[in-house]
Amino acid sequence: IVNEQALLMALKKKLIKGAAIDVLQNEQSLNLSKNKLVKFAKSNENLIITPHIAGLTFQSESKAIDLVIELIKKHIKSK
């Protein structure tokens, strides 16, 4: 867990050389362009922001689908 304000300050003051993150505060917001880290990353090379999709693989999606199907079958049988 990272304090975004502290990270931004450390990057601006060059207390750390750089950072790479894949999670942002309120990332579910439709307007990430107002996020200060996003704004900073657009004009600086020492911050990389990547999509938070590490677990989004074919295998994980397939397992999720299989689980939902099994839960639906159990629900239908219990009625």
pLDDT (0 to 100) of residue 21 = 95
Are 11 and 20 in contact by the 8 Å Cβ rule? The answer is: no
pLDDT (0 to 100) of residue 20 = 96
pLDDT (0 to 100) of residue 47 = 97
pLDDT (0 to 100) of residue 77 = 87
Nearest residue to 48 via CA among 79, 7, 15, 1: 7
Measure the N-to-C terminal CA separation of the chain; round to a whole number of Å.
44
Determine if the pTM surpasses 0.75: no
- Give Dmax (Cα) for the chain: 63
Which value, to the nearest 10 degrees, does the dihedral of the CA atoms of residues 56, 54, 29, 40 take? -150
pLDDT along the chain (79 residues), means of 10: 95 97 84 90 95 80 92 89
pLDDT (0 to 100) of residue 14 = 95
